Structure 1
């Protein structure tokens, strides 16, 4: 209620009512002064108060009507400016407003239109730079392959290798306990099965990174469906995919988006413990919209648990921003993770 009373429409009405009150008080003071000083026969106290009362009632109606109608156009124009700013915040820089009036609001609208054009030019520059960067990346493919192999080797050593070593030790201990203490042996074998499943999940995620960075000539929707079909066979996760087939994107944009999705699915396999993953890619108001969500365990955005996926999230954010897009992630422990990406087309 307080916010409504502070809107532009109610400010207009309040100003009209303030003018009415000031005019009424001034008229009442003038008539009473004439009545007291001159005492004309045609002017009486009753006629003064009747006139003031009628003036106040009629003025109140007129003030409410004119205040409400006069503010309607201004409120509509300010709402248009607010929507335009929201569009800019979401990365839709092609939006614009046009007003017929020649006043300050129109001037602000024109300045925002110019700002949108400049932001769009910057996005195009970023995308050109991304294209140039892609060409440079192809020429430096060998060094990138070496770096990726080194990172995978570190991951294998830090995760799978240590898990396999622990599996070996626990298996040997379980075998020794099998005859003397079957209950302890059974408990240890249960832990071995759990660790083997975790190691298998880690290996699937690492194998996902061994896929080609490029789409090998396939359009984006085909490359993503092939990737998901492969993961569907190798995991128990239910992938629900919706990808528009008529997307018109540059080769660099397709490769970046494909790599972002690849990184996101890898994070889900390794950390989320999810059963269902939703992937939606569509053209939304002249921008590419990518939505990824899972029903996994999520993580606390403000705590150290975020560090487990910080590398992957940082990589996805950098790739999105290289294309002039926006990257947003939301997660909460026990409620899964949501990723929204918007890239101007």
Structure 2
């Protein structure tokens, strides 16, 4: 940290002034010694040379430090302003601009950054406009989407719930046969039946969650999410903690995409997380929509578990976020839950 500090622009200015002081001192000392050796004037003695150079070095060092510090202040402020601007662009705030009065290279770079921000902002608008067009196209192709969704749910029912129900039947029959002969074994088998039934029930709830309407049907985003959570709380033991701003002014496309992202996330939590608490926060700050979803479930290794079933849902959520020009970040680890952070410019 200290090394980085002494390599900053301000200390570079101070070092350059001190380097100039060193060169001036050597030059001045060489001239005085040359005059002293060649002409030996009475007023130019070795003591006077030493005293003069000592006073010169002390005064010049103080002046060099002061002027180096003051002259670098403006440069440092301008560089800090450009650094803040780049950080704002990285966070998706493309409306921020900076303007310098000077007509130099830094002013030219600042103007180019402002142009870059304008282009990025236009690209975000284009992405959102394309998302609107895609939403219109999706509505026109609603029948085809319904058929495809039915086929997908039919496959999931066959692959998950149907097999679990078949296993339940087999275990129940086995427990019935062992009930009189081996009651302890029958008890354990009935406990396994209970666990499998709970898993099948959770899987079914997650599938039913996908059968909900894609659109909010006239409700605001807050109303739609609250209705969804109330329904899930009646059917699952999960404690949902909502924090949603009352006044959220969003376009229909953004609301529908965010609602589907929340649906997909809650479906993943129901099917895979085994969580007891879910925090969901939606707020708008500085023309950006922030969506945070956290659960205290099993978690997983984001870098390794790319073949998990949850990866498909995460990919869908990421694609929906990027269609709106937003950013999607997921953090998770085993036994520490999962965190999803989404930022969408609006």
Normalising to structure 2: TM-score of the pair? Answer: 0.96
- Alignment-derived partner of residue 61 in structure 1: 62
State the 1:35 CA deviation: 2.0
- Alignment-derived partner of residue 335 in structure 2: 334
- Alignment-derived partner of residue 220 in structure 1: 221
State how far apart, in whole Å, the 1-side matches of 2:92 and 2:115 are: 15
Could you give the per-residue CA deviations for residues 35-82 of structure 1, whole angstroms, max 9, x where no partner exists? 223222111222212221211111221122221221122111111111
State the 1:308 CA deviation: 2.2
State the 1:183 CA deviation: 2.7
Which residues of 2 match residues 72-91 of structure 1 at below 5 A? Answer: 72-91=73-92
State how far apart, in whole Å, the 1-side matches of 2:200 and 2:128 are: 39
Could you give the per-residue CA deviations for residues 245-275 of structure 1, whole angstroms, max 9, x where no partner exists? 2111111111111111111111111111111
State the 1:9 CA deviation: 1.3
State whether residues 300 and 332 of structure 1, in contact with CA within 8 Å, keep that contact through their aligned partners in structure 2: yes
Q: 1:21 aligned to 2:22? A: yes
- Alignment-derived partner of residue 12 in structure 1: 13
Which residues of 2 match residues 65-214 of structure 1 at below 5 A? Answer: 65-214=66-215
Could you give the per-residue CA deviations for residues 93-150 of structure 1, whole angstroms, max 9, x where no partner exists? 1111122222111111111111111111111111111111111111100000011111
Aligned residues: 345
Question: Unaligned stretches of 5+ in structure 1?
Answer: none
Could you give the per-residue CA deviations for residues 214-245 of structure 1, whole angstroms, max 9, x where no partner exists? 00011111111111111111111111111112
Moved over 6 A (4+): none
Could you give the per-residue CA deviations for residues 157-189 of structure 1, whole angstroms, max 9, x where no partner exists? 111111111222222222222233333222222
State whether residues 280 and 290 of structure 1, in contact with CA within 8 Å, keep that contact through their aligned partners in structure 2: yes
Question: Unaligned stretches of 5+ in structure 2?
Answer: none
- Alignment-derived partner of residue 258 in structure 1: 259
State how far apart, in whole Å, the 1-side matches of 2:99 and 2:298 are: 47
Could you give the per-residue CA deviations for residues 254-305 of structure 1, whole angstroms, max 9, x where no partner exists? 1111111111111111111111111111111111111111111211011136
Taking only aligned residues, the RMSD between alpha carbons, in angstroms, comes to 1.4
Q: 1:303 aligned to 2:316? A: no
State how far apart, in whole Å, the 1-side matches of 2:224 and 2:343 are: 20
State how far apart, in whole Å, the 1-side matches of 2:167 and 2:275 are: 25
Normalising to structure 1: TM-score of the pair? Answer: 0.96
State how far apart, in whole Å, the 1-side matches of 2:235 and 2:59 are: 79
State how far apart, in whole Å, the 2-side matches of 1:110 and 1:218 are: 43
State how far apart, in whole Å, the 2-side matches of 1:11 and 1:231 are: 61
The more displaced of 167-176 and 321-330 is: 167-176
State how far apart, in whole Å, the 2-side matches of 1:341 and 1:167 are: 40
